[in-house]
Amino acid sequence: MTKIDSKIPDGNLAEKWTKFKSSVPLVNPSNKRSLEIIVVGSGLAGASAAASLAELGYKVKVFCFQDSPRRAHSIAAQGGINAAKNYQNDGDSVYRLFYDTIKGGDYRAREANVHRLAEVSGSIIDQCVAQGVPFAREYGGLLSNRSFGGTQVQRTFYAAGQTGQQLLLGAYSALQRQVGMGNVELFTRHEMLDVVTIDGKARGIIARDSVSGALERHFGHAVLLCTGGYGNVFYLSTNAMGSNVTAAWKAHKKGAFFANPCYTQIHPTCIPVSGDHQSKLTLMSESLRNDGRIWVPKKENDTRKANEIPEDERDYYLERRYPAFGNLVPRDIASRAAKERCDVGFGVGSSKMAVYLDYAAAIIRYGKGEANKHNMHSPTDDEIQSMGKAVVKEKYGNLFDMYKQITGEDPYEVPMRIYPAVHYTMGGLWVDYNLMTTVPGLYALGEANFSDHGANRLGASALMQGLADGYFVIPYTIGAYLAAEIRTPSMSTDSEDFVKAEKAVQDRLETLMNIKGSKPVDYFHKRLGKIMWDECGMARSEKGLKASIKEIQALQKEFWSDVKIPGEINNLNPELEKAGRVADFLELGELMCIDALDRNESCGGHFRLEYQTEDGEALRDDAKYAYVAAWEYEKQSSFKLHKEELKYENIKIAQRSYK
Amino acid sequence: MEGNLNLTLKIWRQKNTQTAGKFETYQVSGISTDMSFLEMIDVLNNRLIEEGDDPVAFDHDCREGICGMCSMYINGRPHGPNRGVTTCQLHMRSFKDGETITVEPWRASAFPVIKDLVVNRSAFDRIIAAGGFISVNTGNAQDANNLPINKDNADDAFAAAACIGCGACVAACKNASAMLFTSAKISQLALLPQGQIEAATRAQAMVAQMDEEGFGACSNTGACEAECPKGISIENIARMNREYFSATFSSK
């Protein structure tokens, strides 16, 4: 049986990474040329890893299901990327970023990994600027910063509300440069459908060419899964339509442990659901909480329009409950607070499941600031409004436009209506310090792994982690494994292990096609999503979780007997692709509920109704649950729990307070 | 703004690259004005599946206007009638009850149709691979603030970098030219000091690849700028031409 060994280097926390880098085995340049690495996924983690490994001389193959690596969902990240540069002279440091991340994660992340993340954060900004990423700048030409939730410093670098896009295009450029040089072979519109293991080591993948439907076998000395998170298990989320758990789930079934699957991030500021037809939810960046104020009416079931409700009849509930952090409390806290207000009848909008995010005060504040800048001594209200709106437009224009397109309302004139939505998954494949899963040679990077965010991720830290893993961690840590593989020649994909793996994939696809039931894939996906949102979403309970596990098992059976997939197996068939993904979500959803049921405490995004303080805050149980829950797949609906104990040697573990 | 629409859809159906395609007509009813255009196609597709027909294949992913994957040519315009939005951001409140809507794939020989409304845009990836980067390996960089950049240049570079690579510019152009796409990347990098070292080789390599892919020439009609969902300016083409010609004149 696999034993969990996190392989955290010895020594002082602040020296671990430096010492590791100086002592990790190296692979000489000529040996690198004969070592092949498969990278699945082309988002921030995948593109940065593939480019960096190819620059080092490894032979790299990159796979993505989209038509271009540039489409990966990292592209949609809005607000920014954290780095401990302390350019603002406001007291930031590597230690502070480390501390904020551990605390933000509600003391459920691994200290050594998080410290390394904080250490390399500064180099990420340097690298991106060198690539030509056009970050926001001040008039003096230097980089601009803003603030995000759960921090009291300004350490977030950004490019308007399109930071993910700009960072991904930077990594994509670096990747395409290597493609052009012949160091990376690119496979677009390809979906990984299994990991191939030989003698217990990951040695390749089976991928399906989505256009021809043909299955392909690819060998690699190592396989990197950079395939993102699994928020789409909820059907409605801020993830892209294609975002899925399939690669990670196949790895799980081949022996990779799945860690903390129940840790889901529900983002507080999304555009509310408008109807049953809805296919996805849209995020309004957390950066909006820098300047926007969140409120609901003080009166229950108030039907007045927002602008008709006077100031003293508004409840700025985040400022009231959390004066120290105000509107910038971490996401889990802001989401729960919004749900609490709506559940007791103070919600707004036609569904009453929304709260206001108001820019009126910020517009006036910025307008007055501009008037001062331009030496206008008695500006009119109209002038203040128009100058203030111009500043807001520069900072958040694309977000305001997006809101208007979707809702038909103008957020410069009326407050936005927002509500929490599934956004990110902190859980993922269990990895050691080297980012290797429990399958030797199989790695997981970025959102696909579990490692850095504990039970709640802070804003602007996902981009940081994806790029840290790809640019600055894996190029070093993979040497620890590949240095021992230099005598392993490239293997033929005609071997029995490859043939068998491909046959299993083929059989599964044919089984799906042959069900010929009566309901489209979406029907099952929506039902799974509703179960997950109601019982494994923002609030969970023993009773609800136990019932959900049964419901999901029944839904699995129904899916495998009644799903209807049109079209052909050997042609572009989006419904077949979707069906495979939903089948995996149905199994993952069950494990998420099992994990949530096991964790008899509340922490971060995991809120069990039975475990809360008198004022409704999450109540951890450190004596019993300060561990990473790493689940081993045994057979259908049967998972074995392994515990990685979390030791806090540098941070005093405490009840998280943002008051 | 609640309301339901009944619509006639004329959609291009094509089995694969080799087969000829044709328009098929479908009726959809009870379409909420709050739906996005793609959600309306979802409704049609789920009905087609239930009726035993092949659903309409179309590219889409983020559904929030940033991935650049959606690509429908709606009533003769890329991404439909509204300015500054992608198809996934186009909502049905922009259409009238009883309307007939024609939906086609991008039309360009450099973007062959794969199936129905799905086209192959890998030519764009190859243009970037030819030179759309700064040659800096991971770990080479100096401290980010050692290189101050004039804010106006940084803002202009950002405006060019906002391109999502959807291909609407090519679809809108009567010559199927990729000048707006190519020039946006050349401009972004030429406006920044980091990018200037390779500016000449970049312009030449990217333009050469663009021509090799079979995109047409530019005849300055400006349709690309008008139809670009991200408002990429045609000034970028002028800047690219300057970069390209100065590179050609000064090349050894």
A256 with A449: CB under 8 angstroms?
Answer: no
Best residue in B19, B59, B66, B147 to probe A by mutation, most A CBs within 10 Å?
B66
- Give me the pLDDT at residue B1, please: 40
What's the complex ipTM? 0.98
- Give me the pLDDT at residue B252, please: 63
Q: Compute the mean pLDDT over every residue in chain A, rounded to the nearest whole number.
A: 96
User: Hey, are the CB atoms on A180 and B149 less than 8 Å from each other?
Assistant: no
User: Hey, are the CB atoms on B157 and A126 less than 8 Å from each other?
Assistant: no
Q: How far apart are CA A479 and CA A603, in angstroms?
A: 35
A256 with A227: CB under 8 angstroms?
Answer: no
B42 interfacial to chain A (CB closer than 8 Å) = yes
- DSSP 3-state of A626: coil
Q: How far apart are CA A38 and CA A186, in angstroms?
A: 10
Q: Compute the mean pLDDT over every residue in chain B, rounded to the nearest whole number.
A: 96
**Both B177 and B78 in a single domain?**
no
**Both B20 and B91 in a single domain?**
yes
DSSP B13-43: E-SSSSS--EEEEEEEEEEETTSBHHHHHHH
pTM score above 0.90 = yes
- Give me the pLDDT at residue A2, please: 54
Active site residue A331: yes
User: Hey, are the CB atoms on A162 and B63 less than 8 Å from each other?
Assistant: no
- DSSP 3-state of A333: helix
Pairing state of beta strands A81-82 and A156-157? antiparallel
**Both B126 and B100 in a single domain?**
no
**Both B100 and B207 in a single domain?**
no
Domain boundary among B90, B115, B140: B115
How near does any CA of chain A get to the CA of B31, in Å?
A: 9
Residues contacting A287, CB < 8 A, separation 6+ = A78, A79, A80, A146, A148, A156, A158, A161, A395, A396, A459
B38 interfacial to chain A (CB closer than 8 Å) = yes
Domain boundary among B92, B115, B138: B115
Nearest CB among A132, A138, A274 relative to B189 is that of A132
Q: Give the residue on B whose Cα is nearest the Cα of A519.
A: B50
Residues of A in contact with B137 (CB under 8 A): 52, 55
Best residue in B29, B59, B62 to probe A by mutation, most A CBs within 10 Å?
B62
pLDDT band at A657 (very low <50, low <70, confident <90, very high): confident
| Per-residue pLDDT reduced to its tens digit, B202-251 | 999 999 999 999 999 999 999 999 999 999 999 999 999 999 999 988 87
Topology given in CATH for the domain delimited by A266-422:
Flavocytochrome C3; Chain A, domain 1 (3.90.700)
- DSSP 3-state of B209: helix
Which residue range is the domain that position B173 belongs to? 122-250
Helices then strands (H, E): number in chain B? 9, 7
Helices A381-407 and A360-373: crossing angle, nearest 10°? 140
Residues of B in contact with A402 (CB under 8 A): 64-65, 89
Instruction: Residue B39: give its domain's CATH number.
Output: 3.10.20.30
Nearest CB among A129, A240, A274 relative to B144 is that of A129
B23 interfacial to chain A (CB closer than 8 Å) = no
pLDDT band at A656 (very low <50, low <70, confident <90, very high): confident
Q: Which of A335-344, A393-402, A531-540, B38-47 has the lowest mean pLDDT?
A: A393-402
pLDDT band at A659 (very low <50, low <70, confident <90, very high): confident
pLDDT of B36 higher than 80? yes
pLDDT of A204 higher than 80? yes
Q: How far apart are CA B21 and CA B117, in angstroms?
A: 10
Query: A483: exposed, middle or buried (C-beta count within 10 Å: 0-12, 13-18, 19+)?
Result: middle
B51 interfacial to chain A (CB closer than 8 Å) = no
Residue from A51, A67, A68 nearest A178 by CA: A51
Q: How far apart are CA A247 and CA A251, in angstroms?
A: 6
A357 with A386: CB under 8 angstroms?
Answer: no
B64 interfacial to chain A (CB closer than 8 Å) = yes
pLDDT of B2 higher than 90? no
Residues of B in contact with A520 (CB under 8 A): 46, 49-50
Domain boundary among B115, B140, B173: B115
Q: How far apart are CA B185 and CA B232, in angstroms?
A: 11
**Both B228 and B132 in a single domain?**
yes
User: Hey, are the CB atoms on A176 and B132 less than 8 Å from each other?
Assistant: yes
CA dihedral in degrees (A590, A595, A600, A604; nearest 10)? -110
- Give me the pLDDT at residue B249, please: 87
Instruction: Residue B199: give its domain's CATH number.
Output: 1.10.1060.10
Beta bridge partners of B36: B91
Residue from A620, A251, A582, A607 nearest A449 by CA: A251
pLDDT band at A190 (very low <50, low <70, confident <90, very high): very high
Cα within 13 Å of Cα(A361), Cβ side: 12
CB pairs under 8 A between A and B: 222
User: Hey, are the CB atoms on B89 and A127 less than 8 Å from each other?
Assistant: no
**Both B130 and B45 in a single domain?**
no
| Per-residue pLDDT reduced to its tens digit, A272-323 | 998 888 999 999 988 899 899 999 999 999 999 999 999 999 999 999 999 9
How near does any CA of chain B get to the CA of A45, in Å?
A: 13
**Both B34 and B107 in a single domain?**
yes
Nearest CB among B16, B145, B195 relative to A143 is that of B145
Nearest CB among B55, B66, B141 relative to A566 is that of B55
- Give me the pLDDT at residue A274, please: 84
Q: So where are chain A's domains?
A: 266-422, 497-637
User: Hey, are the CB atoms on B148 and A172 less than 8 Å from each other?
Assistant: no
**Both B100 and B193 in a single domain?**
no
CATH 1.20.58.100 fits A497-637, yes or no: yes
Residue from A331, A581, A599, A656 carrying the catalytic annotation: A331
Mean pLDDT value across residues A454-479:
97
B8 interfacial to chain A (CB closer than 8 Å) = no
Q: Give the residue on B whose Cα is nearest the Cα of A69.
A: B125
**Both B79 and B163 in a single domain?**
no
Residues 446-475 of A with CB under 8 A from B: 471-472, 475
Residues contacting A201, CB < 8 A, separation 6+ = A439, A440, A441
Q: How far apart are CA B11 and CA B44, in angstroms?
A: 11
DSSP B58: -
Query: A601: exposed, middle or buried (C-beta count within 10 Å: 0-12, 13-18, 19+)?
Result: buried
| Structural domain count, chain B | 2
| Per-residue pLDDT reduced to its tens digit, A494-523 | 999 999 999 999 999 999 999 999 999 999
User: Hey, are the CB atoms on A408 and B1 less than 8 Å from each other?
Assistant: yes
**Both B227 and B132 in a single domain?**
yes
Buried b / exposed e along B89-123 (16+ C-beta atoms within 10 A): bbbbeebeeeeebebbbbebebbbbbbbbbbbbbb
DSSP A640-657: EEEEEE---SSS------
How near does any CA of chain B get to the CA of A468, in Å?
A: 11
**Both B160 and B53 in a single domain?**
no
B68 interfacial to chain A (CB closer than 8 Å) = yes
**Both B98 and B155 in a single domain?**
no
A159 interfacial to chain B (CB closer than 8 Å) = yes
Q: Which of A188-197, A331-340, A586-595 has the lowest mean pLDDT?
A: A331-340
pLDDT of A29 higher than 70? yes
